[in-house]
Structure 1
Amino acid sequence: MTSHSLALLSLKSSPFPQKPVLFLSMFSVALQAPLSTQYLWDRISEDLGFNGSRRSECSNSSVPPDPLQKEVETLTAHWNLYISLGFFLVGIMVVPLLGSWSDMAGRRPVLILPNIGLALQAVVYLVVMYLKLPVVYFLVGRLLSGLSGDFNAILAGISGSFRDVGQHHWSYINPFWLVLATNVASALYAFLFVHESVYPDPSAKLLTARHHKAVWHLYSTGGSSGEDGGRLRRCKLWLYTLCFFLVVTVHFGSRDLFVLYELSSPLCWGSALIGYGSAAQHLAYLSSLLGLKVMQRCLKDSWVALVGLASNITGLVVFSVADTTELMFTGYGLCFLFMAATPVLRSKLSKLVGPSEQGALFASVACVESLCFLVGSSIFNSLYPASLHFMKGFPFLFAALVLFIPAGIIGWVCAFILFIVFLILNR
């Protein structure tokens, strides 16, 4: 799941014709994310001769852990990291081009191209599964998706158990056919029904340094228009971008570990429970959206973001000590508002620039998201195997601690505003 599920919270403000594109793309990404990790786990387990998660004594703490389990966990985490790294190196160059280019060439191409790339990725994954090719070919699929901008580019313009336990790795094929069909449908819908919101400039070029310069100009000057003066606007851009970076890095990094954490002891979840856990995680996007609408009626945006961060922090702390199914689902329940901060930060960034700079802003935010994907995957997929010997859930605790930084920044801004209001009222 690329940044990918974050768009659910943007549906409420997007034009109607674009909503099906966002939903279909989000659905395909959310569907394949946990399945990819499970497939890597099964293939690596098969190669190493490990089937500990299927032993009856897997969740029995009195039985010494199988040494192969740690190797499987480590290799799966590292392969997640390698795939993320390859995707980042391509996406960091492509996304700024697409985002800034869309300000001149139009938004529709940026809705169509990434879906084609995601469909090609699904085709590569299916070929790997049918032919049982080495998992390194998953990297080829991610590179193809990265070349088209992936789900981050789409932001410009059902979870559950899909596996039959008895069918081994072949049971991944049907879900990925669904992923492929969804991406093709999304691309066709964008081509046929989405109306252009920007008057296209036929002379607009994609491969030019101008697009990267537009992103640099935005952050070096604060943009040409917005709510505040240039210097204050530039300061806010950097602060809110830093908050966005930390929040999304934690989101991507911790998300990579949920399936690994649940597959191994002491939880030893099967595909059904992993499906329910994924469903609970994605229901939190809906509850965050509902909570966002309710809280915005009585709270300022900054306070809404703080409530969302508090929900995320408490849930991560519970995950860090979860050694039973009940505790794990308690953590999912506490995270029911964990995504409320992200759309607030997006909204604050969007309000700081003018309409003609929205594409450049999107490009910069998408680059930040790609960087979040790399940094989150690098830190958490490295930290997880390194902390297995002293605290398996330590990466979740570390994630909770990181979130105190954006909470502090946003809280400081809130306190400063309250102080100014207090001075004005007491003059």
Structure 2
Amino acid sequence: MDSVQEEPNVKSQETASNVQDKPKSYIKERVISSVVLMLFTCANNSSGPVFTQYIHSRYEDVYSNGTESSSNKQSSCLANNSEEADEVQVHVQQSTSYEILKLCLCFQIPSVIVNMVVGSYSDHIGRKLLFVLPMLGCTCKYVGFILVVKFHLNLNFLIIGTLLEGFSGSTSTFVLANMAYAADVTKTHATRTFAIILTDSSVSIAFALGQLMTGFLIEKLGYFYPSVIYTALILLATTIVIFGLTETVKKTEVKELSPIVHFKKVFGYYVNKRRDNKRSVFIACVIVFALLYIGLNGKATIEILYQLGRPFCWNPLKIGYYGAYSIVFMAICGLVAIKLGSACVRVEILSVTGMFLLMGSLILEGLASTDAMLYSVPLVASISTVSVPVARSVLSSMVAAHEQGAIFSSMATVETLCGAIGSSAFASLYRATVGTMRGMAFLGIAAVVFIAAIIKIVVIVKSPRQPGYDLFPSPPEDQNAQTPDHNQYGTLPK
């Protein structure tokens, strides 16, 4: 009898042999990883508003014959309402969107290549590398920006730092690191969903703080000192990771160094015949995830530019207030929805509801003509933030514990590739329509989100929940984790 009882323990140890036991101070590790996440997010995501507004101000200099200095933080689009001034603003918007498009492609295309294999390698060499690489890349990006601002260099010099960020894996690799880290220490579907929602919400809060800080700093200090401050935050986060974060994966020998092997490991889920019962659902969920990222990245690329132009003509402070308000409000709504709503309906239904609300908010934003209409956009979007983390959690729950790095690498690759597609497509659409119907790009994004919602509905209808049946059953490790003998990783408090 003793030998029979010991057998499951041995099997469990073999299955998760490359993952360490739960750290002795689990709360300490969660606090440290959350601090790192928020520092990086606050600093890195603030680069979008800073870069966009700086490039916009530089082109205002060019098209106004140098009468306004780029160190002047206030937009000049309110200075003159003549037809000639309208034409100048259209040129400024078109040129700025083109520069932003170039920078987006410079960091997104290289990071697609990096994310194809880096997550799979992390299952052997550890998670810390996934944290450190994008932080070093972000530092290079900010250093390049500081030099351009300080010496008033040609805007093309921004491409150098942006390319270095791209080859570091960029934001997608950092998100991959956090998601894989959360999956390492949560072994059931429910706790993993909450952990990923919590991680996304931490990102949202830090993003909001960065937006608010950016508005104040640009308004008071210009563009040079905010970038110095954000560089310091990135270096602080890097130091904390190197010296304070506990590794959750035991380093093992990587038997196959060829990227092709890891490429097959990352994308094997799509063609693996052993997963026929899950493969169609898996692919459908990936398509939904991809469409959402095409839309969300397209929106992020053009939204600040949209606010800078007429009829809004917002200054950095207004942009910062709006960014903080919208992000915090939607993050809170998403958390409340996932905690309270999931007790009544499936999280997949909440996800679809969020997609339709997002679609409505995009239509409102595209048709907005007053500040009040823009401020109503987050109210309509409300719980739309649940859609992406639910998609992440569903995909994560469909693979084993030792494959978490690979699946999140797959998601990061899809995310980055779709980010490049969304940024280029909708920045180009915005550039083409800014002189006629400025909000057309937002209506196009709404159409993409609508397609994602329809696909998700089809998946839910074709796979109804039956008594004792779970559409997304947890892998065997999840069942083991529920017993005292196999609960090596701990769970997040509910």
Q: Normalising TM by the smaller chain, what interval?
A: 0.7 to 0.9
Counterpart for residue 319 of structure 1: 365
Q: Could you say what secondary structure the match of 1:155 adopts?
A: helix
Instruction: Select which of 248, 252, 272 maps to 1:197.
Output: 248
1:162 pairs with 2:216: yes
Q: Distance in 1 between matches of 2:76 and 2:359?
A: 32
Q: Distance in 1 between matches of 2:465 and 2:379?
A: 35
How high is the TM-score relative to the length of structure 2? 0.76
Counterpart for residue 254 of structure 1: 299
Instruction: Select which of 227, 234, 239 maps to 1:188.
Output: 239
Instruction: Select which of 277, 287, 296 maps to 1:242.
Output: 287
Structure 2 counterparts to residues 47-62 of structure 1, below 5 A? 47-49=62-64, 53-54=75-76, 56=78
Do 1:104 and 1:204's aligned partners in 2 also have CA atoms closer than 8 Å?
Answer: no
Counterpart for residue 314 of structure 2: 269
Q: Could you say what secondary structure the match of 1:323 adopts?
A: coil
Do 1:34 and 1:278's aligned partners in 2 also have CA atoms closer than 8 Å?
Answer: no
Q: Distance in 2 between matches of 1:205 and 1:184?
A: 33
Counterpart for residue 412 of structure 1: 458
Q: Percent identity?
A: 27
Q: Distance in 1 between matches of 2:255 and 2:225?
A: 40
Larger Rg: 2
For the structure 1 residues 282 and 206, does the alpha-carbon distance in structure 2 shift closer, same or farther, using more than 3 Å as the test? farther
Deviation at 1:99, TM superposition (A): 0.8
Q: Could you say what secondary structure the match of 1:133 adopts?
A: coil
Q: Could you say what secondary structure the match of 1:335 adopts?
A: helix
Counterpart for residue 96 of structure 1: 116
Letter in 2 for 1:372: C
* Deviation >3 Å, runs of 4+: 14-17, 50-53, 55-58, 62-65, 163-167, 202-208, 417-421
Q: Distance in 1 between matches of 2:44 and 2:278?
A: 34
- Name which of structure 1's ranges 135-144 and 412-421 shifts more when overlaid on structure 2: 412-421
Counterpart for residue 66 of structure 1: 86
Counterpart for residue 399 of structure 2: 353
Q: Could you say what secondary structure the match of 1:37 adopts?
A: helix
Count matched residues. Answer: 398
Counterpart for residue 375 of structure 1: 421
| Structure 2 spans left out of the alignment, 5+ residues | 1-26, 69-73, 178-208, 468-494
1:109 pairs with 2:163: no
Q: Could you say what secondary structure the match of 1:199 adopts?
A: coil
1:282 pairs with 2:327: yes
Counterpart for residue 5 of structure 1: none
Letter in 2 for 1:258: E
Do 2:148 and 2:157's aligned partners in 1 also have CA atoms closer than 8 Å?
Answer: yes
Instruction: Select which of 197, 207, 213 maps to 2:264.
Output: 213
Counterpart for residue 163 of structure 2: 143
Do 2:338 and 2:386's aligned partners in 1 also have CA atoms closer than 8 Å?
Answer: yes
1:231 pairs with 2:281: no
Deviation at 1:263, TM superposition (A): 0.8
Letter in 2 for 1:39: Y
Q: Distance in 1 between matches of 2:257 and 2:231?
A: 27
Q: Distance in 2 between matches of 1:358 and 1:166?
A: 44
Counterpart for residue 346 of structure 2: 300
Q: Could you say what secondary structure the match of 1:156 adopts?
A: helix
Instruction: Select which of 2, 26, 33 maps to 2:48.
Output: 33
Deviation at 1:110, TM superposition (A): 1.0
For the structure 1 residues 105 and 288, does the alpha-carbon distance in structure 2 shift closer, same or farther, using more than 3 Å as the test? same
For the structure 1 residues 64 and 120, does the alpha-carbon distance in structure 2 shift closer, same or farther, using more than 3 Å as the test? closer
Do 1:105 and 1:204's aligned partners in 2 also have CA atoms closer than 8 Å?
Answer: no
Deviation at 1:287, TM superposition (A): 3.2
Deviation at 1:164, TM superposition (A): 4.8
Q: Distance in 1 between matches of 2:218 and 2:163?
A: 29
- Name which of structure 1's ranges 208-217 and 252-261 shifts more when overlaid on structure 2: 208-217
Counterpart for residue 8 of structure 1: none
Q: Distance in 1 between matches of 2:61 and 2:414?
A: 36
Deviation at 1:163, TM superposition (A): 4.0
Q: Distance in 2 between matches of 1:211 and 1:87?
A: 22
Deviation at 1:385, TM superposition (A): 1.7
Do 2:59 and 2:95's aligned partners in 1 also have CA atoms closer than 8 Å?
Answer: yes
Q: Distance in 2 between matches of 1:26 and 1:207?
A: 32
Counterpart for residue 227 of structure 2: 176
Deviation at 1:386, TM superposition (A): 1.2
For the structure 1 residues 294 and 139, does the alpha-carbon distance in structure 2 shift closer, same or farther, using more than 3 Å as the test? farther
Letter in 2 for 1:54: S
Counterpart for residue 473 of structure 2: none
Aligned-residue Cα RMSD (Å) equals 2.3
Q: Distance in 1 between matches of 2:152 and 2:256?
A: 41
| Structure 1 spans left out of the alignment, 5+ residues | 1-11, 223-228, 422-427
Do 2:292 and 2:452's aligned partners in 1 also have CA atoms closer than 8 Å?
Answer: yes
Do 1:99 and 1:363's aligned partners in 2 also have CA atoms closer than 8 Å?
Answer: yes
Counterpart for residue 205 of structure 2: none
Q: Distance in 1 between matches of 2:445 and 2:418?
A: 13
